[in-house]
Amino acid sequence: MKIEESHVVTLHYSVYNTSEELLDSSHDDEPLVFMQGRGFVIPGLDNGLLGKQAGDKFTLKVASEDAYGEYSESLVQQVPLSMFEGMDVEPGMQFRATTDDGDIPVIITEVAEDEATVDANHPLAGLDLVFDVEIIDVRVATEEELAHGHAHEEAGCGHDHGEDDGCCGHKH
C-alpha cells in the first residue's frame, strides 16, 4: 500500500544537518506512528512520504522553509536580569516562556551585566535538514482516527486513557 493523504504511517528516521551531524533519531526508541498530512511532522517530511510504501528506505532533503522555518531576529529579545528574580542565568539555559502564542521553549544565548539575550527560535530554525527514512508500515486510517485527526496506535493507542471518549489522551 502506498502512502496517500491521511494514511497512518509507521516509520523510523534519522535527521542530519547538511554537515552530516546527527540531530535526532527514532532508532533508539519506538518508531513514529502518525497520520500523514495533519502537521505531526514538518511539511517537507509529511509531503515527502506520499507514494512511499512499507520497506522503502530513502533520503529526503528538506529546505528550512519546509522544516522549522527561517531564523527570525524578531524572536530574539533582550530581557532585564531582574525579570529572572534572582535565578542564576547562564547561556544555554532553556525554559518555557509564556507568550501571546502560548507556552514556547526558549533558550538563553548570552548574559550581559544587567540583561540576557533570549532566543525563541526553534533550535533547528534556518537549517536545511537531511532525513534518512525507513517506512515500516502503512495503513488506512479508521473512521474514528479520521474524525479525531490523529493516529490511534495499535493495542489501544498508548495514550492516557483517562478521557471520556475512551480512545486516547488527546484533546478533541
Nearer to Zn ion, 52 or 150 (CB): 150
CA distances from 20 to 3, 72, 134 (A): 27, 24, 18
Rounded to a whole number of angstroms, the minimum distance from the CB of residue 147 to Zn ion is 8
Bridge-based pairing of strands 115-119 and 76-80 is: antiparallel
Nearer to Zn ion, 4 or 144 (CB): 144
Cα distance between residue 52 and residue 13, in whole Å: 14
Nearer to Zn ion, 70 or 154 (CB): 154
Beta strands in 120-165 (DSSP E): 129-139
Rounded to a whole number of angstroms, the minimum distance from the CB of residue 159 to Zn ion is 8
> Which amino acid would we find at residue 71?
Y
Rounded to a whole number of angstroms, the minimum distance from the CB of residue 162 to Zn ion is 13
- Nearest residue (beta carbon) to Zn ion: 148
Rounded to the nearest 5 degrees, what angle is found at the Cα of 145, between the Cα atoms of 153 and 52? 70
CB atoms under 10 Å from CB of 115, counted, come to 16
Rounded to a whole number of angstroms, the minimum distance from the CB of residue 115 to Zn ion is 44
Nearer to Zn ion, 103 or 163 (CB): 163
List contacts with Zn ion (CB under 5 A): 148, 167-168
Which residue has 516562556 as its cell numbers? 97
